[in-house]
Amino acid sequence: MSSIGEKGSLVSELYGRHRSFLCFYAMGYVDSYAEAEDIVHSVFEKMLSRDISLKDTSAIDSYLISAVRNSCLNHISRKKVHGKYASHILSENEDSEDRGFVNSRIEAEILWEVFSKVEQLPHGCRQVFKLSYLEDLSNQEIADRLGISVNTVKSQKARSKELLKESLKDLFAMAAIIFGL
């Protein structure tokens, strides 16, 4: 590719040409057209950030269909996990309104503490941690985005987990006592 602008215009052209079809294809997997649009849009955003050859149109078509399908399956998987977590929280909170409020408040405080500890991580660890666990990017995607090696991503993830584990060990012990874990 001779320039990023050229790649961007090619991706934009592909988006205009294939968006409707890919959205309807995604609808076979997800519940709403809005979700399908979001998934298709994210596939094209990833295309811009990756080094993908845009010369062979038959390969691009296969890539787009596979990428949308995989993104849909990942979306469904994340949705199931969120649904299980939400139903677990709701079933616990049915016991008592007061207990539900207290538990929600404690959970919010715990999350606040965890996120504040994430913000205190060294810059590289914090970037890798957020991209991995909050944006759900793969090690390769993180390496590509940050311009570092996959091994650096792995070591930064391991270091961030160790630092968080150490700084949050008292918090997890307290949460286990409070929630009876």
Domain end residue (candidates: 46, 77, 94): 94
Please, which pLDDT band fits residue 45 given cuts at 50, 70 and 90? Answer: confident
Please, which pLDDT band fits residue 1 given cuts at 50, 70 and 90? Answer: very low
Domain end residue (candidates: 55, 76, 94): 94
Mean pLDDT of 88-112: 62
pLDDT of residue 124: 93
pLDDT at 93 exceeding the cut of 80: no
**Between 127 and 93, whose confidence is greater?**
127
Instruction: For Cα atoms 175, 176, 178, give the angle at the middle one, nearest 5 degrees.
Output: 60
Q: Tokens at residue 73, please?
A: 């399956």
Non-local (6+) Cβ contacts of 43 within 8 A are: 22, 64, 67, 68, 71
Which CATH number does the domain housing residue 149 bear?
1.10.10.10
Burial track 97-109 (b if 16+ CB lie within 10 A, e otherwise): eeeeeebeeeeee
Residues 11 and 32 grouped into a single domain: yes
Residues 108 and 171 grouped into a single domain: yes
Residue 65 CA to residue 24 CA, distance in Å, equals: 11
Residues 82 and 2 grouped into a single domain: yes
Domain end residue (candidates: 71, 94, 117): 94
pLDDT at 135 exceeding the cut of 50: yes
Residues 178 and 110 grouped into a single domain: yes
Residues 20 and 82 grouped into a single domain: yes
Residues 152 and 181 grouped into a single domain: yes
Chain segment 46-70, per-residue pLDDT in tens: 887 776 666 666 678 778 888 899 9
pLDDT of residue 2: 42
> In degrees rounded to 5, what are phi and psi of residue 54?
-105, 20
In whole numbers, what is the pLDDT of the chain averaged over residues?
79
**Range of the structural domain that residue 181 is part of:** 96-181
Residues 84 and 100 grouped into a single domain: no
What is the tally of structural domains in the chain? 2
Residues 9 and 86 grouped into a single domain: yes
Please, which pLDDT band fits residue 5 given cuts at 50, 70 and 90? Answer: low
Residues 139 and 88 grouped into a single domain: no
